[in-house]
Structure 1
């Protein structure tokens, strides 16, 4: 196998080196038909194609059918002139070609003297008669003039294309324009191209929160092409959308601009979240400034274009995602910090203890863990049975842990009223201060060496640094993973050489390189707070070298996680070499394209799950430890205890810490394709193609990854210098039946998927002169998606290990086989004695396992479409279409442990109860600390009907409007998102998770427009007015984007889950006849978005408090909609002939429609079940969606 692939690589690379071929993904093709006045073909007519901006000329002759095809033309505006004996010369001006498209024109010659010229007023053809691709092409005016909020990110413009909707909530790139195209996942399944060269990010987790490396300044963009379906075989890599950005080129005249954009809080609306809390808007200021210029170095030969843009943001008002933000959290009251928990005491309930004895407990009662009594259960373990409450619910000062008392002193007091009974809930409101600094630029040089040879090169760069304040002060930190200080350094460079061998043969060679270096460092780097606060048991070297701060400390009862961030410090790289080379041949009615592509992708990273330890405090330690149920239907232990009380006593519930590891991941891709665009006759064009793609699995340069394959029960450690890496000492004891296979498999761990052939078929048929029908079908492949650190095979045993400790709590808690089983262990503040896996706890430590399906297949999507397009008066075209797809071999990340969280268990879940939950249970042994498995058995479907109305720019107006009804179904979510692990209701039947996809948006309407008001000199009204009057009345332009969308699906989560699987769904209440989208009796409000009375816990054994999956389906509810109007008004003042000033006023979400976050869908948060009362409540708006007013001044020359 290795020799076979080596030979294939050599052959493909030899082909690349031997040929000077053509990469046309950012180029255009012009196809034409020349006829006489009777419609007859004019053969051997001479066609001259002239680029208006640079004067470059291309000539070609028509064939016997009067047709010509000229490939490899730069996207631009052209003049086409035709001469033939016996006919007048015909000139068609303003022929617009867009990137990656085949444009067809028809020119009719008039009989007469060849020295006479007939000018034809032309524009880009309204009908698409030469190809079947679906999408949108945004010209320079649309790109630069429509109002864009935030930092004017170009990817938001993709949503103007029908079928493109925002990525699912929680997707890593959702805050920076991430999107789903025609129902295909967002992360990693869209293909971003810059001048036709790879511009994608391959880092494991989109640490920079984008799927692209470079987003050029809007002022540097010539056009954006968005393709979502029906694209030709020359496009591959991903199955979603293709977004091709073309940089501006220099022309024979010097053109450019200077600009400044300004936003601040004085004119912006307050956030919905602030208004809800009665808080004023926090400070906010954004400046974006820069310059762009292009022109000739040598006229008609050598041209240049360059730009610079700087962005500066200071935000503590929640205007920019993942910078400053505002929200609520729950903090202990001043009395609680002093040990007085009397305020949380609630009603008394009766129940029985584990032995059936009657007991009475008070809600919120704090029990003394040192008073615990024990008995031996059927598994032979000592379990706690009873405890004595603290008198008055007050913990004596003498019992408070000194280390935690120091930490507790850092907590600020609540600044909000208690919202839920006596339990503190969302009692602290905060604004964090964040900042962003970006410097970026683009440069492009075009050089016409001769009439047959041309060259261009470009370099784009971007440097960004972000900071974010913490909700809580000092060492409490609590910034979260997205809040850690971040630096992103991006580069994209490319060079292209084009050779015109003849009018029918054009070749080009192109090489591109894309690089990203991104890193995050948490708060308090290099500060040893372990020693300062008296927390022991950790290797002191982990508290230095950018790994400072407290360990991460988590709580139950709704208290926020504090301390340093997990997975930080981190540093990730993205290095991609892209060689894309093809040849284009025109022969008769056929336009052939052939090509190969090679990509080398390296994405090493340093990212540790728990680099400075992770501690967990729970209410378990201060709760009544046992009981089968209380009189209100809840479990005894869930009504008592408090995590902050446990922390004050220094009684830790769990903890872990990880070793460090640098993973040098890499993969390669080869592709080849053939495409034939065949103009069968004047009405029918066929687009026929096939593409073959060969992706390698993810490898590790030095063999530092392993694969635990469940079905064969084998741990594969690959060839290389690390194939004899030592396993944890307890590995054999934990996994006595596991086989360890060393030094045999390759660094890729799994076989290559060698069967990725993708046919593409398109039919374009002109029913009449103004109507065309297009039908397309194709198979599109994507590589293994970005998944994050957890499933990465380099983050598992034996190259990364995690020491775990869990306190054994009794019949309501499962204890994994690999975890310590003790109650009186003094974990805090002593921590992990000895620190890392050399510690005595190693023999009782869980082992993190990683695996990938041995027969892993690359994701593929079958796509089809049928579109009818009709030309309308007024330079308009109407499209009505149907698009569909079937998604197969989609990546699923899941815990393939057949019995997660089951290890040693007690009688409460044994026997009949256990069989009811998992009939297939035999040994019921857990796989240590869980198994993150990457599989490819996910699937989905998409169906949509669309209507698009487009008006090309004429008489001062252009617009693009579309409506789409669609439905996307899937059995799994996008990796790196909140739904990436849509865990199965049954591990043995994953298909039960098939439902509306998390990114499904049923109805979507968007329209964008530019309207030059018809007043002023040279306009319809006032064309002869004075210059002074024109400075007041003329030069006005209105622009806008209107967006109307329904919300994304939501799943109501059960109140509690048994632990055999990761999800439990509730039941509908008895007698309820509605569904998830039935509004509550009083109508939808933020305080009750849905009918919360419709849901109850689904019990298989209510007496034992065991919950299982109910009858409420996945994704059964639709979240809040989006209705926004972004509007801008321009005033242009002509200063001199070549200079003008433009003033812009832009309002993003002009009507200030409240774009709300999803409501709380966790049944466990309902008041009736002792939760915080937020079930069904919307507590925040979507960051950055409140109205923003932006002013700009531009000097244009």
Structure 2
């Protein structure tokens, strides 16, 4: 799997490293467990052989023992995370006890001990170091401790994933999908330039992934239940696979010999939050309701002392939120536009050379109106599609720029649309308000059993049950969900079960393993569910299936430049039942200088869906882009402006097109067969951590992974498109083989190699290289296209022609007959398929070179170069796209033998690549002497072809310019700085100041502050323009850059506000598609949006009620300084708000108060 270009630097690096061989240290790289490894020396530094070492868990009394070898070295593996005492005894030396040695998952803790000569009765007790150098492992990882999770500010849902922002190489976590999809509100992030669905989260060993949306964890353990989180991001240990971005291991709490419990309640509401930047008093006199309560408790303790323990928790989240849809104003038509009167939007005059002027041109470009009056063309003119040619040439302007009439069905829809206030501007003129609600209940239970001194077993069960409701933003005409996603009512149940054990067969041989199961069951329906509004109320043919209630509701009317009208959620309703099974088993053997490990890692995913979301959804969709009421008069054509051509279509053309009822695109989806997918993922590994000397450790490992082809339940086992005949083949039917000639690689070997060299007790240098395999479940890209789901898409022959009207409706596609095993693909059915031969699964090469240094005051700083390269990244190529200037007639499958197919036809394969290079710095200080610090800085660049390899379409499908897609990734964030802290104020009892007793001491004692400061560079975006002159199907039009791009930095819509970038630097492309550079000269992701600065701050005090009982009062301030965090500017050149920022993130300042009672 190595590539030719990979090797020079890293082979040289490792050759240099091995030339230094002379010393190395111990090893263990478990995921659920940790290890302690060290050398016992006398005061001269010589190793002490045959020393007895005992590691005792302070909470459960579980203990492990080992003896040092001839060099004085020992290793104790497979220890559950927690605090331990390390006891060391040797003949002729004083017994030594190190207290509070913290063992963390997937880490090797330093257990070095220096003995003093003396009698056995002379006990020596020391405190273990709070932070030690990473001298044993060569991966790049970050640990989140229980204290960090509980004391640092978390987001509104108190999600531990908030702190993944503190991991070097991580882009800021975001809520990627609707609450309806992810009621746990899992965060999505890109790690080290890899795609977001390359991350792999496991909770107590169980795979924690939403099969359909694999960039999300399906279960998010509540903060109060988490003991620690380990996040490995580069050069993983051989035990860790099925991941490419981050391997995230969550260890939840267990009971102990002492009864412990917590009860808590947190509250925030609209009175405690600032206004969102665009939520001004003028447009919203009262702040919308915004209430979130989080309450619950935990209890853990012994069932039988030293043997059997329990831990349980409940966490309830209850939210009512009524804020702006999308974080800002929406655009609806003014009264004049509702009446079809476009006189008020006429703009500059168009000159014969293509320029525009505020006054009539000396050399004008003339057009004729429907009264045959010749006049100078102006920006904003509306043209009659019934005049001229079908391709938009020769059209006449509507006389007076007024429509003579409005389509009867459009009038019915118009009656459902709210009116804007009198005198409102043409854009960003309507502030909507509706409420979302979430009721979520999390239950967790865990039992730990020390069956014998050598055998420990645990079992865990977690469940989340939720109900979410999202109200529409535009009332009767529905519109966007005025919420974080999901129109209607959604019921979800998530369950996670895992059982694991550790068996010590001898001091040098340990086995461990676990099996896990996760399941998500969900069903949801929209607010228009139950009534066939499209067909029965509005009278639009082909919009609802009267025999299936799940297809009921109102269609989506997509008018370019305006708020969504109708129901825009084509993915909704949804009925899902997905689950995953995990089985991991490992053996570890310590011998001399070697720590050998081997094991298996098996995952099974199963998807079951009824969700006809492909294309336009079950109610149908009508698109109004504006070309149908625009004039096609490209530059270079006789009688047209010599440069630029006639003005490109804009939002007013789109609105006029809607009023006429003429759609340039339409479609509908219907599911005939339940979408299912079953797939296995197998991993096998062997590794050796070789202690070459006391200074040098070499890590060698090899994984082998196998990903068999997914299969389906039901009548056929697999399906794919024959791209030659356009027949869909069904595996196992009609004599077809089950796999249909599709194979997967059996050569996915993934080597891991690393070196760690400790120069002294303060400095270590680490370097490593490894390969991991993209774990993307194929259920994501291949879930349910034809014949499972029919997603139709009908479009006009050119960008200026209509595909049909509201009155004629959407043509139907009949149900498929699968009995023969070979069925023709309907010409308008959307399709994505693999081809015959090997399906190339991507893999990620990762490498690092890191210097780590221990600084005074217990700080640990690391500085490193981290790189990744993705090979065979998955993606789509639309084989039915056309070249510029050829329109629908140029589509390869638009021929009689293929039924004149014009729909998208996607070929899915691993044919792309990506790379990432970064300087990464981390600063850590474990909590000691009242202070914890955790910081990260990343300076990086990520390049790819497309950003999401689960549903990954290219910007340009033209085979002549495919490499134009290669550009900086949409998630590329060149600089990220994050700094978090927890600080006990040095005042009050036992502190430096105000410690003399009295009222001041009582008032000022036990206060702490914590915070997270972030400064983040903006992310790039791609400009869009009208594709009318391009006339190419399934391609992207960008504008031309005609001048230097000047950043103005303005915020707000309309001419009264400055744009973010100077829009005059760009011009529409109106030259013919056959002309030079027809796509525009602006590439993909060429401009950056605004960056952000943020401070989250917490203040809390613990009141000592009794010796064991403490009550904590807490105040959290998210975005404490209320810094507005703006979204990228409007990128559509045809919009009146082009380059204006009109929306901001819904993360204005929000205070939260809480009480936490703990014993």
| TM-score, normalised relative to structure 2 | 0.87
Match of 2:882 among 895, 899, 905: 899
User: By how many angstroms is 1:466 displaced?
Assistant: 2.1
Partner of residue 794 from structure 1, selected from 778, 781, 784: 784
Partner of 1:612: 619
Alignment match, 1:6 = none
Q: Secondary structure at the match of 1:54?
A: coil
Aligned to 1:330: 331
| SS at 1:137 equivalent | strand
Match of 2:719 among 701, 706, 718: 706
Q: Does 1:933 align with 2:937?
A: no
Structure 1 residues 843, 104: closer, same or farther in 2, change over 3 A? closer
Answer whether contact 1:93 1:120 (CA < 8 A) is retained.
yes
Structure 1 contact 900–930 (Cα < 8 Å) conserved: no
Distance 1:716 1:692, change over 3 A: farther
Post-superposition CA distance 1:166-210 (Å, at most 9, x none): 268978899742111112111x2001011122112211x46xxx6
Distance 1:1081 1:154 in 2: 34
Give the aligned partner of residue 569 of structure 1: 573
Residues 139 and 222 of structure 1 are in contact (CA less than 8 Å); yes or no, is this contact kept in structure 2? yes
Cα deviation for residue 787 of structure 1 reads 8.0
Range with bigger deviation, 1124-1133 or 890-899? 890-899
Residue-by-residue CA offset, 1:6-61 (whole Å, 9 max, x unaligned)? xxxxxxxxxxxxxxxx9941111111211111122211111111001111122111
Query: Is the counterpart of residue 968 in structure 1 residue 942 in structure 2?
Result: yes
Are 2:486 and 1:483 equivalent residues in the alignment? yes
Report Cα offsets for 1:358-405 as digits up to 9, x if no partner. Answer: 875555455566x6466xxxxxxx777666665545556xx5444332
Question: Are residues 508 and 623 of structure 1, via their aligned partners in 2, closer, same or farther at CA, if it must alter by over 3 Å?
Answer: closer
Rounded Cα–Cα distance in structure 2 between residues aligned with 1:257 and 1:276: 41
Instruction: Write the distance in 2 (CA, Å) between the matches of 1:665 and 1:1052.
Output: 37
Match of 2:205 in 1: 196
User: Does structure 1 residue 231 correspond to structure 2 residue 236?
Assistant: yes
Which residue pairs with 1:638 in the alignment?
649
For the residue of structure 2 that corresponds to 1:482, the secondary structure is coil
- Other-structure match for 1:212: 217
Residue of structure 1 equivalent to 2:118: 112
**Does the 8 A contact of 1:655 with 1:804 survive in 2?**
yes
Q: Distance in 1 between matches of 2:888 and 2:31?
A: 60
User: Does the CA contact (< 8 Å) of 2:629 and 2:800 recur in 1?
Assistant: no
**Residue correspondence of structure 1 range 934-949 to structure 2 within 5 A:** 934-949=908-923
Partner Cα distance (1:1054, 1:529) in 2: 33
Instruction: Give the direction of change, closer, same or farther, for the CA distance of 1:623–1:183 in structure 2 (3 Å limit).
Output: closer
Alignment equivalent of 2:259, drawn from 240, 254, 261: 254
Instruction: For 1:401-420, list aligned pairs within 5 A.
Output: 401-415=407-421, 417-419=423-425
1:520 lines up with 2:482 in the alignment? no
Structure 1 gap segments, 5+ residues each = 1-21, 319-323, 375-381, 725-741, 1166-1171
Deviations 1:957-1015 (A, max 9, x none): 111122221111112212468xx434237423422222211111111111111111122
**Contact 2:108–2:136 (Cα < 8 Å) also in 1:** yes
Cα distance in 1 between the residues matched to 2:610 and 2:553:
19
Partners in 2 of 1:554 and 1:194 — Cα distance?
A: 42
After superposition, residues 858-937 of structure 1 pair within 5 angstroms as 858-899=841-882, 928-937=902-911
Tell me which residue corresponds to 1:496: 500
Within 5 A, what are the aligned runs for 1:221-370?
Answer: 221-275=226-280, 278-280=283-285, 281-318=287-324, 326-346=327-347, 349=350, 350-351=365-366, 361=377, 363-366=379-382
1:656 aligns with 2:667: yes
State the match for 1:505 in structure 2: 509
Matched, 1:689 2:701: yes
Alignment partner, residue 820 of structure 2: none
Partner Cα separation in structure 2 for residue 838 and residue 122 of structure 1: 69
1:1179 and 2:1142 equivalent? yes
* Residues 924 and 360 (structure 1), Cα distance of their counterparts in 2 relative to 1, 3 Å cut: farther
- 1:537–1:835 CA contact under 8 A, matched in 2: no
- Whether the 8 Å CA contact 1:316–1:325 is kept in 2: the answer is no
Task: Return the alpha-carbon distance in structure 1 between the equivalents of residues 940 and 825 of structure 2.
Answer: 53
Q: Which moved more, 1:76-85 or 1:1055-1064?
A: 1055-1064
**Distance in 1, Cα, partners of 2:779 & 2:945:** 17
Q: Distance in 1 between matches of 2:1066 and 2:851?
A: 46
| Greater shift in the superposed pair: 442-451 or 749-758 | 749-758
Name the CA shift for 1:225/1:654 in 2 (closer, same or farther; >3 Å).
closer
* SS of residue paired to 2:66: strand
Instruction: Note the C-alpha offset of 1:500.
Output: 1.5
- Indicate whether 1:1015 and 2:987 are aligned: yes
Q: Distance in 2 between matches of 1:618 and 1:176?
A: 35
More off after superposition, 897-906 vs 70-79: 897-906
Asked if 1:1079 is matched to 2:1047, the reply is yes
How do 1:793-872 residues align onto structure 2 when only pairs under 5 Å count? 794-796=784-786, 798-806=787-795, 813=800, 827-832=805-810, 836=814, 845-853=827-835, 854-872=837-855
Q: Out of 739, 747, 750, which is 2:742 matched to?
A: 750
**Separation (CA, whole Å) in 1 of partners of 2:899 and 2:457:** 64
Alignment partner, residue 177 of structure 1: 187
- SS, match of residue 525 in structure 1: coil
Partner of 2:1155: 1193
Which of 607, 615, 622 matches 1:603? 607
User: TM (normalized to structure 1)?
Assistant: 0.85
Q: Distance in 1 between matches of 2:658 and 2:336?
A: 15
Asked if the contact 1:88/1:118 (under 8 Å) is kept, the reply is yes
- Asked whether the 8 Å contact 2:144–2:229 carries over to 1, the reply is yes
After TM superposition, list the pairs within 5 Å mapping 1:416-431 onto structure 2. 417-419=423-425, 424-431=426-433
The number of residues matched between the two structures is 1086
Per-residue displacement from partner, 1:1126-1179 (whole Å, max 9, x unpaired)?
A: 1111111101111111100111111111111001122233xxxxxx1x111111
> 1:482: Cα distance to partner?
3.1
1:1102-1149 CA-partner distances (Å, limit 9, x unpaired): 9x9997234333222222112111111111110111111110011111
Residue 278 of structure 1 and its aligned partner are, at CA, apart by 4.8
